[in-house]
A and B are shown apart, each in its own frame.
Chain A
């Protein structure tokens, strides 16, 4: 039944959110922050997982969740102390619940007795309680009763409730007024209004002094026909109470209107204010217009003056905005496909807009200034639209970071090492598609750190380190990129071993000398693995090269830096969004190519560039005292060019690890934004090309893979040497 499948899909979606929440809450609880809010949230999460699971008959899941829930209930009620072992048990239980959920989702049955150890521990912890009774499925013997609830109910006579007033009480803050205070009878005279005084401001001032209750006296308001524009018909009785309320304070407020109003001030008890009654003629006044209640509702946020029932004005009105927001819906769920369609269309819009802008040559600009202005606005709006759409797709990296604590726990158990995971910047947002692609690389990197980086506890103690190794996972935004780093305080990369393996496998020539940084980067070489013994964890036939290729696929780069004996840091640099890239458009052998702007350091004409020829035949460029490898893209792509050398251009780029490379192109057309399109969707990956894009004229331009060209050129060099 498809309805059921829909419900299940909703349920599993919800489960992943709840599991995520559990992970977060327990991270805080583990750190010592076990407020009752957290415990309640944890309880609710398990409760919801259990509840939905019951509806679908996932009995293994429900059985485990129920036992766990009982423990959480006891913890919540303080019947079981939240000691370290209990927290550890809970964290383990969360993992098990995740397993049960996954099994239910995949339709597989977990081994008999899965989680029974933990369940037994729950039972021991909660054993003091007797068996709970089971209730009938439904039970209607409750009698609806009216309950008076503490301070939230007002002691006023129920007959004074109007529907609006009653409803309003729901979001009125609990009131603790003393019954004694000051009663202010305030009757403005026409002169008060004539001098532009506003009773509302005075009443607000009173509100700042203390709690205020107001009755508007509108008995004198005449029928509309007798209404005089400049007359004053309304008066107010105001009851003010609070510590700061004194006669002097109240008189000070009315000092400015002295002589412009009748003011009667006396100490009184609240009930002297009397109940609110709407005078019958009020309805007649506005016979054909909006009802008084409507008006009152309309002016309610600012003016507690007319027709309002007991309206206590709490001194600082902060927090009100939050309450207001609660009334509206502040999020909706949208199918990702729909958003993607919008993203694609916005992408095309960006292209069209940049095409239009390109078409504007100088003479057109001079001739059609309005058009130019319109295009500028269009460009701005398009950019704004694009940012907004992209922000819809953005998600905090938390969704993937939160999977890592479990991984680290498992790694710690399997390696016998003590490892603590620290996460920083989980709320950094990044495109959803990129997030989805992050899980595998991060898993690999963390495995690598746990496996090869962090030392065993004895060794660490021997080295004067703490026996617990730290893996730090962090995310931050830096310009148009997100930087995600995995750092550990382990032994660093064993460069001798890396070089030895690389030489054995022919990745590095026997006589080739590498800098330390270059050696470190070798761990990303295809098929490279240094673990002396293949470990159960990292050695699964895939090495760190998978990380590199995954990250490159989403337009990112990877860099590693290592400090012997101190640790390793691997850094992922990722684009904020997959969809749009700022590029420089160039031509090579008559075809358009684009080079990501983020990689470009500078451009120069070849005739001004300082080339030198290497003994091997390769060219280098001397720029600012540095020798940079030169790659002629026409040659590199084996596409003959007819452009003579002097009028060609050098695009100086920076590849990963700050290594520079000078690309020679035939011409530079300009900068623009492009939408990245996959070559692999209908074709395959091409070495030296990172993808394609569609230009304003409808033609395809290829995106130059600067890093790929740098790497392969380095290899070509080596084989030539």
Chain B
């Protein structure tokens, strides 16, 4: 199983890689939405975890673009961010996000959510 992680924070990417890699997932990394899209062109993934606040292309735009491409209508996308306002949440939902995880995340919970989404 391959998971694409998109976050502009190296810390967060490293922690995600650790948590996901430890659970046996293959992890791809991108530092903003655009990089994420570029990666998706050439790589197939089973799940995407993305931050919202990122330079170049933010998470909302990223999700919209992924959905708009028509290729990934069933690709689960989890939004991982500290943003906790209802407004942002609605934006994420409207853009096509599958779910929402508030950071800091508990690695075990994260993994269990991922398994639920994937099965």
B79-95 vs A: 1/0 string, CB under 8 Å?
Answer: 00110111001001111
- What residues of B have a CB within 8 angstroms of the CB of A43 in the complex? 53
CB distance from A310 to the nearest CB of B (A): 14
A54→B82 contact, CB < 8 A:
yes
**Is A146 close to B, CB under 8 A?**
yes
B103→A7 contact, CB < 8 A:
no
CB distance from B19 to the nearest CB of A (A): 10
- What residues of A have a CB within 8 angstroms of the CB of B67 in the complex? 144-147, 149
- What residues of B have a CB within 8 angstroms of the CB of A142 in the complex? 92-93, 97-100
- What residues of B have a CB within 8 angstroms of the CB of A163 in the complex? 71
Stretch of A45-53, A345-353, A638-646, A687-695 that contacts chain B: A45-53
Q: Who on chain A is nearest to B35 by CB?
A: A326
B12→A51 contact, CB < 8 A:
yes
A132→B84 contact, CB < 8 A:
yes
Q: Who on chain B is nearest to A138 by CB?
A: B101
- What residues of A have a CB within 8 angstroms of the CB of B106 in the complex? 137
- What residues of A have a CB within 8 angstroms of the CB of B81 in the complex? 51
- What residues of B have a CB within 8 angstroms of the CB of A51 in the complex? 9, 11-12, 81-82, 103-104
A149→B68 contact, CB < 8 A:
yes
- What residues of A have a CB within 8 angstroms of the CB of B41 in the complex? 167, 170
A55→B71 contact, CB < 8 A:
no
B102→A137 contact, CB < 8 A:
yes
B53→A44 contact, CB < 8 A:
yes
CB distance from B87 to the nearest CB of A (A): 9
**Is A148 close to B, CB under 8 A?**
yes
B94→A147 contact, CB < 8 A:
yes
A144→B38 contact, CB < 8 A:
no
Q: Who on chain A is nearest to B41 by CB?
A: A167
CB distance from B58 to the nearest CB of A (A): 9
Quick one: given A132-B85, A137-B101, A140-B117, are A47 and B69 in contact (CB under 8 Å)?
Answer: no
- What residues of A have a CB within 8 angstroms of the CB of B104 in the complex? 51, 54-55, 57
**Is B54 close to A, CB under 8 A?**
yes
A146→B103 contact, CB < 8 A:
no
Partner of B38, one of A47, A152, A327: A327
A148-179 vs B: 1/0 string, CB under 8 Å?
Answer: 11001100001001010011011000000000
B70→A149 contact, CB < 8 A:
no
**Is A14 close to B, CB under 8 A?**
yes
**Is A264 close to B, CB under 8 A?**
no
Interface residues of A in 209-248 (CB under 8 A from B): none
**Is B113 close to A, CB under 8 A?**
yes
A308-326 vs B: 1/0 string, CB under 8 Å?
Answer: 0000000000000000001
- What residues of A have a CB within 8 angstroms of the CB of B97 in the complex? 142, 144
Most chain-B CB neighbours within 10 Å: which of A43, A147, A163, A327? Answer: A147
CB distance from A25 to the nearest CB of B (A): 12
A7→B102 contact, CB < 8 A:
no
Per the bound structure, the CA–CA distance linking A435 and B92 in Å amounts to 43
CB distance from B70 to the nearest CB of A (A): 6
Per the bound structure, the CA–CA distance linking A146 and B70 in Å amounts to 7
**Is A591 close to B, CB under 8 A?**
no
Q: Who on chain A is nearest to B116 by CB?
A: A140
**Is B77 close to A, CB under 8 A?**
yes
Q: List 16 A-B contacts (CB under 8 A).
A: A14-B10, A47-B53, A48-B9, A51-B11, A55-B104, A133-B84, A139-B101, A140-B99, A144-B74, A144-B75, A144-B97, A145-B94, A147-B68, A148-B68, A149-B68, A152-B65
Can you add 12 more A-B contacts, CB < 8 Å, to A51-B82, A132-B84, A138-B109? A10-B10, A14-B10, A14-B11, A47-B82, A51-B9, A51-B81, A137-B101, A137-B102, A138-B113, A147-B64, A169-B69, A170-B37
Chain B residues engaging chain A, CB cutoff 8 angstroms: 8-12, 14-15, 18, 34-35, 37-38, 40-41, 53-55, 64-65, 67-71, 73-77, 81-82, 84-86, 89, 92-106, 109-110, 113, 116-117
Which 3 residue pairs spanning A and B have beta carbons closest together? Answer: A140-B99, A11-B11, A55-B104
